[in-house]
Structure 1
């Protein structure tokens, strides 16, 4: 029996020509490794619509694991996120001009959700392959956190057996030509996401080690 992993990446936003999250996950689309198959889809960088699209994708593919991936320009590492907060507070408009300020993602939802992924174990797997990685304790308050919270809320509301979470990634090198910011190659980011996802499929329980950054 195949284990299906649904990976999502965002469309470009904030004036960028590419979004490394989509560039990376689409490299894995259709890849099969032993009993695991990867499915990659792009979702809009738009509040509310992104959650609707994600829920439709989950219903279509019925995956065992869902990992949403997003860009966090300025970060040094690939950072699996530990907690999603029930807050939209956008410093810039999304791709349809929405800019919610101090609004809940879900008025009926809890203040936060923990990830369903073994984030510390995923980080260790990446570091063992010389990929810069660390656990993050905040996914921000833009569409990345929005989709992370929406994913976990969907799982909670539907009592679904799937597990889900979110990974932030740095810029690609070509995005930093006119700015001073760290970056990782597309090859490194793609390999990191693959290792993290395979680790999450194999292990439901996390390891107890020191680690985590609040950005």
Structure 2
């Protein structure tokens, strides 16, 4: 079953109101980069999601390590591993990001982490597709099949691509010693669902959005993945 479109339309209309306010409030001044980060809770087959640990600990980790000048690590939020179930929190932090972005008058980037339990390396996702076809029920019991994520965007074949320079980000990470690749398929599960909404929002607001899949900690240990997350923040700040 596809989600009630009225619910999605309410969020979209609310975004449009936020956009009008943001255009009215803009001002000139020094520009920086604010990066907001999300991860996911557990889901079927993954009892301990590494992205929940990474995102929960990222502020403390970069606080000890430090960030490049002009870079701000904004919100770090763990979402429900559910399609519609993740949207209320996702939209809430994005609305806050609009308001905070106006005050700093800089670039805003939405960085999303998800786990691929079959992966052995990090994958930078170039795009998301307007299709929800869940291989299993999400954590709220929803299992759509061939549903458009946003009906007004048209067919399920519609794709949205990140405006982040994925090739430059990849080279930055490789120079730091991380085994990473670029992917053109974020799947059709919750990761793709959230990424599609984020890309759509980012395009409308002049922000940027990027999704990265990580392996389980049993494949790449927690310490290395924390280093990767912090380095990825630097890569985004340096290239975006």
TM-score in terms of structure 1 length: 0.83
Q: Of the candidates 122, 144, 151, which is equivalent to residue 191 of structure 2?
A: 144
Note the aligned Cα RMSD (angstroms): 1.7
Secondary structure of 1:91's aligned partner = coil
Instruction: Indicate if the aligned counterparts of 2:46 and 2:117 stay in contact, CA closer than 8 A.
Output: no
Matching of residue 45 in structure 1 with residue 81 in structure 2? yes
Structure with the largest fraction of helix: 2
Matching of residue 85 in structure 1 with residue 121 in structure 2? no
Name the counterpart of 1:109: 153
Name the counterpart of 1:70: 114
Name the counterpart of 2:173: 126
Name the counterpart of 1:35: 70
Unpaired stretches in structure 2, ≥5 consecutive residues: 1-29, 102-107
Unpaired stretches in structure 1, ≥5 consecutive residues: 174-182, 205-215
The structure with more radius of gyration:
2
Instruction: Indicate if the aligned counterparts of 1:47 and 1:143 stay in contact, CA closer than 8 A.
Output: yes
Name the counterpart of 1:207: none
Number of residue pairs matched? 193
Instruction: Indicate if the aligned counterparts of 2:41 and 2:80 stay in contact, CA closer than 8 A.
Output: yes
Deviations 1:179-207 (A, max 9, x none): xxxx1111212222222222222223xxx
Q: Of the candidates 197, 207, 212, which is equivalent to residue 162 of structure 1?
A: 207
Moved over 3 A (4+): none
